[in-house]
């Protein structure tokens, strides 16, 4: 199993092209593992969707991260690659992507950059379960997991 982290360029343009970087990595592997999972840390959903289709059939999964908001577009693409635009976050549900609500609202109201604090409270767990054929590396299914965690 290989896990690859790629960074998108939309609103973060100082990085190498994730499409070409992944091509170069795949070409450099003499003995490619059957299961390759790509964590695509990017802002724009369009860039994430495009990379999913670009890598379809060449990797087992393209899993978007960064926005902290889980999306409901998980699916297996035609070539056998599992895809989701954003897995979501694990952290306090009553927050603005994990930060205190008041701090983020004040930042938007004043446009003054301030250090934000991590919110506290009821946690939520966002994840995906990807079923992958161990021999072919093709995804058989992808299931979104979103659960509030109760304190015991």
The pLDDT of 21-26, averaged and rounded, is 98
Q: What is the CATH number of the domain that holds 12?
A: 3.60.21.10
Rg of the chain's alpha carbons, rounded to an integer? 17
Closest CA to 142 of 43, 36, 62, 32: 62
Model confidence pTM above 0.75: yes
Q: Provide the number of structural domains found in the chain.
A: 1
Residue range 94-129, pLDDT digits in tens? 999 999 999 999 999 999 998 999 999 999 999 999
pLDDT of residue 152: 61
pLDDT bracket for residue 11 (50, 70, 90)? confident
* HEC secondary structure over 12-53: CCCCCCHHHHHHHHHHHCCCCCCCEEEEEECCCHHHHHHHHH
pLDDT of residue 13: 74
CB 89 within 8 A of CB 111: no
Residue range 46-88, pLDDT digits in tens? 999 999 999 999 999 999 999 888 899 999 999 999 999 999 9
pLDDT of residue 145: 96
Range of the domain at 24: 2-148
Q: Is 72 helix (H, G, I), strand (E, B) or coil?
A: coil
Task: Please report how many Cα atoms fall inside a 13 Å half-sphere around the Cα of residue 18, on the Cβ side.
Answer: 24
The Cα–Cα gap between 45 and 23 comes to 20
pLDDT at 14 over 90: no
């Amino acid at each position: 199993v290989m896990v690859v982290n790629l960074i998108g360029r939309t609103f973060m343009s100082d990085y190498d092209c994730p499409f070409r970087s992944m091509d170069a990595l795949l070409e450099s592997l003499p003995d490619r593992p059957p299961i390759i999972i790509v964590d695509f840390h990017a802002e724009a959903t369009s860039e994430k969707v495009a990379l999913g289709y670009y890598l379809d059939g060449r990797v087992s999964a393209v899993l978007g991260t960064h926005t902290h908001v889980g999306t409901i577009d998980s699916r297996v693409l035609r070539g056998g690659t599992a895809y989701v635009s954003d897995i979501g976050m694990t952290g306090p549900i009553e927050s603005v992507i994990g930060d205190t609500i008041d701090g983020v609202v004040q930042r938007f109201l004043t446009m003054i950059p301030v250090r934000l604090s991590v919110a506290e409270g009821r946690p939520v767990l966002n994840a995906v379960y990807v079923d992958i054929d161990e021999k072919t590396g093709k995804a058989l299914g992808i299931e979104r997991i979103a659960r509030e965690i109760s304190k015991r």
